Every structure is written in C-alpha cells, then in structure tokens.
C-alpha cells in the first residue's frame, strides 16, 4: 500500500476508533457488553481488541477488519461511512484550538514587536561608540539579536496563515495589532472565512 493510501486508512481507522468509543459511551456500554453485541452478529471480538481499536494513540493500534467495522457500525445503527466521517464537535474543537493558537501567537508576536521597538529606541539613544566595551551593551546586543531572530521566525509562521501577510504589512507600517481583534477575524473563524 502506498504512503498516501496508508495515511488515508490510518485517518479512517482513527476516526472509526474515536467514534466507536463515543457511541459505546453514549449508549453506556462497557467494552465487554459491546463485544457481546458484536458476537451476536456473528463476529468474535474480544473486549481487549475493542480497547485497542478505540486507543488510536497506542504505539501500534490494532487494525480494524471490514467485517468487524460492519458489525460495530450495525450495533450503533450507523454505516461505516458515518463511523469514519469527521464529527462536528471534532471540527468545532479543532477550530477553537486554532483560534487559541492564533491569538496566543499574535499576543506573543505583539510582545516581541514591542520589545524589539523598545530595544531599538534604547539603541538609538545610546551612542554605540561610548558603550562598545561595556558589558551592558554586550547583553543588550545579544537580547536584541535574539529578539530579532524570534521576530523573523514568528513572521515566517504568520505568513503561512491566511491573512497573515496583511497583518505583517500593518505591523511593518507601525500599527499596533489588537490580538483580540485578530482572534475574531473572519479567517480565524471555524469556517475558514468562507
């Protein structure tokens, strides 16, 4: 099986295992009770196999055979397709995580920009010749360089986000970006701004 198909199969099995656990818990079934219901449909499945199917984070999760998937889906009154489809709450959870990451990244970037501007102001005020040999200047210079490198890394990450280039242009023009406004921007919303 080529790599793309293997990844697709892995994603489908992860979704199936997650949905299997959700449905089992929704019905208030133990893994043993689910195994008994599956067995009544002619498929022998041990409770430990169910645990391995549900735990997709294991080093080597158990594969799910088609006959097992069909029986499990039937127990829950669903199709295999419904068992492998992304759930709305999964999408909402991921969208919320994405909004949090963007907001945190923007707050961190704003802090680094403020620090970098403050360091530039200090550098402008101080005469480099007068403090060249001073230990404070060496410390300042190291912090300034590290701040600049971090700022460049954050800008590169932001450039990968839809709308990130527009934010970088606004920051470059000296505008202060409100992280709250960025977090509520249309491109950060769960529908991707569509």
What is the structure's pLDDT at 134? 63
Please state, rounded to an integer, the average pLDDT across all residues of the chain: 75
Cβ-proximal residues to 78 (8 Å cutoff; 6+ apart), any chain: 19, 23
For residue 43, the model assigns a pLDDT of: 95
Give pLDDT, residue 139.
Answer: 66
Give the Cα separation of 13 and 56 in Å (integer). Answer: 8
What's the average model confidence in pLDDT over 22-28? Answer: 93
- 143, 119 contact by CB (below 8 A): yes
Instruction: Kindly state the average pLDDT of the residues 135-140.
Output: 65
Distance CA(141)–CA(42), nearest Å, equals 73
How many Å separate Cα 75 from the centre of its chain? Answer: 32
At 93 the pLDDT is 65
Q: Is 81 helix (H, G, I), strand (E, B) or coil?
A: helix
Q: Considering the chain, what percentage of its residues have pLDDT values greater than 90?
A: 26
pLDDT tens profile 79-116: 999 898 876 666 666 667 777 777 777 777 777 777 76
Give the end-to-end CA distance of the chain in Å, rounded to a whole number.
35
At 135 the pLDDT is 63
In terms of average pLDDT, the best of 2-6, 13-17, 124-128 is: 13-17
Please state, in angstroms and rounded to a whole number, the distance separating the CA atoms of residues 51 and 34.
11
């Amino acid at each position: 099986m080529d790599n793309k198909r293997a990844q697709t199969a892995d994603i489908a099995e992860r979704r199936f295992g997650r949905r299997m656990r959700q449905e089992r818990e929704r019905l208030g079934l133990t893994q043993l009770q689910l195994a008994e219901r599956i067995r009544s449909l002619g498929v022998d499945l041990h409770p430990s196999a169910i645990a391995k199917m549900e735990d997709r984070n294991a080093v080597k999760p158990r594969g799910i055979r088609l006959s097992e998937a069909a029986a499990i889906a039937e127990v829950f009154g669903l199709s295999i397709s419904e068992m492998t489809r992304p759930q709305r709450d999964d999408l909402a959870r991921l969208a919320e995580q994405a909004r949090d990451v963007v907001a945190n990244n923007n707050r961190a970037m704003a802090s680094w920009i403020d620090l970098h501007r403050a360091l530039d102001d200090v550098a402008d005020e101080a005469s480099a010749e007068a403090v060249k040999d001073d230990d404070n200047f060496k410390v300042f210079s190291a912090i300034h360089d590290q701040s600049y490198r971090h700022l460049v890394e954050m800008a590169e990450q932001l450039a990968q986000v839809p709308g990130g280039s527009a934010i970088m242009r606004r920051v470059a023009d000296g505008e202060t970006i409100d992280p709250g406004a960025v977090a509520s921007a249309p491109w950060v919303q769960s529908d991707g701004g569509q």
